[in-house]
Amino acid sequence: MSGNFGSSSSIQPLSIGNVVSAGVRLYRSHLKTYLKLALIAHLWALVPIYGWAKYAAISGLISRLAFGELTYQPESVEEARSHVNPRFWSFFAVYLQVGINLFLAYLGVTIVAGIAVGLLTFILFLILGSIVIYLSPYFTPLLIILMVLPGLTWFYARWVVAEVPLAVEENINGSESISRSWELTKASAFRIQGIVIVTGLVTLPIMFLFNYIPNLFLIKLEPGSTIYTLVYLVSLLISLVGGTFVMPFWQSIKAVIYYDLRSRREGLGLQLRDHDI
């Protein structure tokens, strides 16, 4: 897959499939490097605050490395780290602010969905009568979920590359990086939402296998017991392995999205690297 991005006026957006395919190729071509960084990031994530900041910075580092490959300006890990490390706490601030923003978006979307479902239930009650009251405990939660998920993934799509400008661009701080993501994605939110959903579906089997299944063994164990603690630690270790595999793929996808948005909106005049990435 390749595309000639000569001028922003003639650029066509990469399709969902092209973005995911490019992310897979980046991931596969630099598997050892990205996995090593992701493993270090997840080990740091076990340390509160400082470790979380390290995790956020390494996430940005992977996206910077991927972006450099896309633009024919590859860097070594050391070169990329020299740019990322001085912004260490800014990456943490970006993750924290995006998390807060998504939580507030979740509350807002949930309230709106609840009101909408309540009005719908009332209208159906007027039409169908008391049968709606008996059925509402079954269909009401489902309707709310079906309304909340699209809204929440739309907001996530607007902030999906929030840390990438901070990792790639000069003279930018954390809040400006978040605003940059919002600005770049405003005309492509639904397409990026599709990319987010497809990427989520691609990584879902790994997350299910490494993150969810191990936790099932905790259900019948007594919290606080020795066996519970042992199983919990094993499940935590397994989840770290799953996260290590998933994280570089997401950061590669973010790099491709960011590259695509900048190419079309600002005319980078660069060529997306082909299958060798």
Domain ranges of the chain: 16-266
pLDDT at 4 over 60: no
* Distances, alpha carbon 191 to alpha carbons 14, 182, 252, in Å: 9, 14, 17
Average pLDDT over residues 129-158: 85
Average pLDDT over residues 251-262: 95
pLDDT score, position 255: 97
Q: Which of 2-16, 143-157, 207-221, 254-268 has the lowest mean pLDDT?
A: 2-16
- The C-alpha atoms of residue 20 and residue 131 are separated, in whole angstroms, by 46
pLDDT score, position 12: 64
- Residue ranges of alpha helices (H) inside 129-273 are 131-159, 164-168, 174-184, 189-207, 213-216, 226-266
Specify whether the CB–CB gap between 36 and 228 falls below 8 A.
Answer: no
Kindly give, in sequence order, each residue whose CB lies less than 8 Å from that of residue 126, ignoring residues fewer than 6 positions away: none
pLDDT score, position 268: 60
pLDDT at 8 over 50: no
Q: Which of 51-55, 112-116, 269-273 has the lowest mean pLDDT?
A: 269-273
Residue 271 phi, psi (nearest 5): -115, 130
Residue 20 host element (H or E): helix 16-29
Q: Specify the higher pLDDT residue, 64 or 123.
A: 64
Kindly give, in sequence order, each residue whose CB lies less than 8 Å from that of residue 179, ignoring residues fewer than 6 positions away: none
Q: For residue 78, what are its two tokens?
A: 């050391």
Specify whether the CB–CB gap between 271 and 3 falls below 8 A.
Answer: yes
Specify whether the CB–CB gap between 181 and 159 falls below 8 A.
Answer: yes
Q: For residue 44, what are its two tokens?
A: 């740091």
Q: Specify the higher pLDDT residue, 121 or 171.
A: 171
pLDDT at 206 over 50: yes
Kindly give, in sequence order, each residue whose CB lies less than 8 Å from that of residue 74, ignoring residues fewer than 6 positions away: 65, 68
Q: What angle do CA 206, 57, 97 make, to 5 degrees?
A: 90
Buried b / exposed e across 27-52, counting CB within 10 Å, b at 16+?
Answer: bebbeeebbebbbebbebbeeeeeeb
In this prediction, what percent of the chain has a pLDDT beyond 90? 62
With cut-offs at 50, 70 and 90, classify the pLDDT of residue 30: very high
pLDDT at 263 over 90: no
pLDDT score, position 102: 96
With cut-offs at 50, 70 and 90, classify the pLDDT of residue 43: very high
With cut-offs at 50, 70 and 90, classify the pLDDT of residue 1: very low
In this prediction, what percent of the chain has a pLDDT beyond 70? 91
pLDDT score, position 254: 97
Cβ atoms within 10 Å, residue 142: 10
pLDDT at 199 over 60: yes
Q: How far apart are the first and last CA of the chain?
A: 10
pLDDT at 9 over 50: no
With cut-offs at 50, 70 and 90, classify the pLDDT of residue 267: low
pLDDT score, position 28: 94
pLDDT at 3 over 60: no
